[in-house]
Each structure stands twice: as structure tokens, then as C-alpha cells.
């Protein structure tokens, strides 16, 4: 993720953390901890029934440590389900 897309993602994550969505953020944090315990943090969970399996870029994880999808899979997910909290 580069340039404007990265900046927009960072802004969206910051807005999400400023939004009144504590239960959702707590669930995301618990999922991230589980991925750490399973050595899966930073690996895209994919979109749909298949796991993408690509490594999530470090800049994306720095912007939003609970990110569980690469940018491409996240865009597909949001197109179908909308954004979670921003």
C-alpha cells in the first residue's frame, strides 16, 4: 500500500479508534492476540472461503495493528459488507 491509499487507510484506522466502537475494537484486539499466538499475525485471512495467505505489508500493520487482510482482500470485503466502523 503506497501513498494516498496508505494515508487514507491510516486516517480510517485512526478515525475508527476515535469512534465509539469499543466492543468491536476489543474483539479485533482479541483476534489479533489469537493470530499472534498462532503465528499468523501479519498473514492475510483473505476474502470469502479461501485464505489469501500473503504477508500484510509492515506499513499497513503499523497503521492498524489489528489489520487481518491485505489491501486487496480488504477492499473486496468492504465492497460486499461495508466498512466496519468508519
d(CA 23, CA 36): 20
Q: Find out whether 69 and 52 touch, Cβ atoms under 8 Å.
A: yes
Question: Domain boundaries in the chain?
Answer: 3-81
pLDDT value at position 82?
82
Instruction: Measure Cα distances from 7 to 59, 64, 67, 76 in Å.
Output: 10, 11, 15, 19
Give the C-alpha separation, 62 to 45, whole Å: 17
CATH code for the structural domain at 3-81: 1.20.120.910
Q: Determine the Cα–Cα distance for residues 46 and 71; give it in Å rounded to an integer.
A: 10
Q: List 47's β-bridge partners, or say none.
A: 50
Mean pLDDT of the chain: 81
Q: pLDDT tens, 28-49?
A: 889 889 988 988 889 999 987 7
Q: How confident is the model at residue 86 (pLDDT cuts 50, 70, 90)?
A: very low
Q: What is the pTM of this model?
A: 0.65
Amino acid at each position: 500500500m503506497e501513498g494516498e491509499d496508505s494515508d487514507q487507510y491510516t486516517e480510517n484506522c485512526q478515525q475508527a479508534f476515535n469512534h465509539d466502537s469499543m466492543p468491536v475494537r476489543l474483539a479485533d484486539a482479541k483476534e489479533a492476540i489469537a493470530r499472534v499466538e498462532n503465528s499468523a499475525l501479519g498473514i492475510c485471512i483473505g476474502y470469502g472461503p479461501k485464505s489469501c495467505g500473503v504477508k500484510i505489508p509492515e506499513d499497513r500493520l503499523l497503521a492498524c495493528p489489528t489489520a487481518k487482510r491485505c489491501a486487496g482482500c480488504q477492499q473486496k470485503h468492504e465492497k460486499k459488507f461495508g466498512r466496519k466502523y468508519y
